[in-house]
Amino acid sequence: MIVNDKPTRGRRTMNLGCMQCNGKLMAEDGKKLESNITCETYDFSTSEDSTITLVVDSQLIYCHKEVLSIWSKVFKKMFSGDFLEGSASKVVLTDKNYEDMILLLKAIYPPAQPIDDSNVSILLPLIEEYQITSLKIQCENYLLNVDPSLELLITAQTYNFSNLTIKCIEFCRTFTLGELFNDSKVSLINNENLIKILKARINDVEIELRTAQKLCSEKEARFNGCLNEFATIYSNFCNHCKNRKINDECITCLRNYRENVLKKINDFKTQVSKTHIW
């Protein structure tokens, strides 16, 4: 809905050739300018020098077509000569929340409000709708410093955050299948990302299985080697048959040998448990 009720008047020339970050002026290449100038927070409730009025929730927001067009591809098209909004003085934005739109504008106008936990979830849908690429990049950079989670993966895939998606998939691969599929949010993961998680999990399990098999083989070989060595050097004088080696026909020899083998096994287990091998 467009309202033309504001007469055309003189406009002050605006310097739009620089960007602003947290109150400090920055050049277009991102380098800080040598200046101590700080910016005052823009007042969206005053019409002074404004070139467009946004009507949201029946409330007026005074801003500038030039600024909105630089940041947003959607606003740039809206205010071009091909659309009625290009010559309008007021534009009604339906299905929008006044406080949310103010929050978006504060992230654009100097001193730009930084992206953080207090505004990122509110800004993302608006940033996506109005195609504000630079703010979208800032949102992903902020979220990359947040602890990964299944919920964050859903956000990453919703807004096509490739780096954040990779980070969250790496985190989700640590879940057991029970932990993963018992989470109600798993149904919101798209098939492509779910397959990546499951493939990564299968690969991890295979590595763990091969490692366990190798450890078991090493332990078994060491254990059998100790028993063979013990049998070779076994010497125990038998009072019954008067032999120092095992006499297969002497029950006392066999009993003594069995007792010594069991003792050797227990000693071996005690030794390897202390070295965290068993």
What pLDDT is attached to residue 249?
58
What are the pLDDT digits (tens) for 166-179? 999 999 999 988 89
Domains of the chain: 2-114 (3.30.710.10), 234-278 (no CATH)
Average pLDDT over residues 148-160: 97
What pLDDT is attached to residue 20?
45
- Burial of 164 (C-beta count, 10 Å sphere; 0-12/13-18/19+): buried
- CA distances 42 to 45, 84, 92, 143, 264, Å, are 9, 27, 21, 27, 83
**Between 142 and 28, the higher pLDDT residue:** 142
What are the pLDDT digits (tens) for 2-26? 444 444 433 333 444 344 444 444 4
Per-residue pLDDT band at 60 (split at 50, 70, 90): very high
- CA distances 15 to 12, 18, 98, 112, Å, are 10, 7, 27, 16
Contact 85, 79 (CB under 8 A): yes
pLDDT at residue 270 greater than cutoff 60: yes
**Between 274 and 48, the higher pLDDT residue:** 48
Go through the chain and tell me how many residues it has: 278
pLDDT at residue 95 greater than cutoff 70: yes
**Mean of all residue pLDDT scores within the chain:** 79
Average pLDDT over residues 82-106: 87
What are the pLDDT digits (tens) for 187-236? 999 999 999 999 998 888 888 788 777 777 766 666 666 655 655 555 55
| Residue 84, amino acid | L
This prediction has a pTM of 0.64
> What values do phi and psi take at 62, rounded to 5?
-95, 125
pLDDT at residue 91 greater than cutoff 60: yes
What pLDDT is attached to residue 85?
64
Max mean pLDDT range (35-44, 60-69, 234-243): 60-69
What pLDDT is attached to residue 189?
95
What are the pLDDT digits (tens) for 99-110? 999 999 999 998
Average pLDDT over residues 248-276: 66
What pLDDT is attached to residue 3?
46
**Between 183 and 248, the higher pLDDT residue:** 183
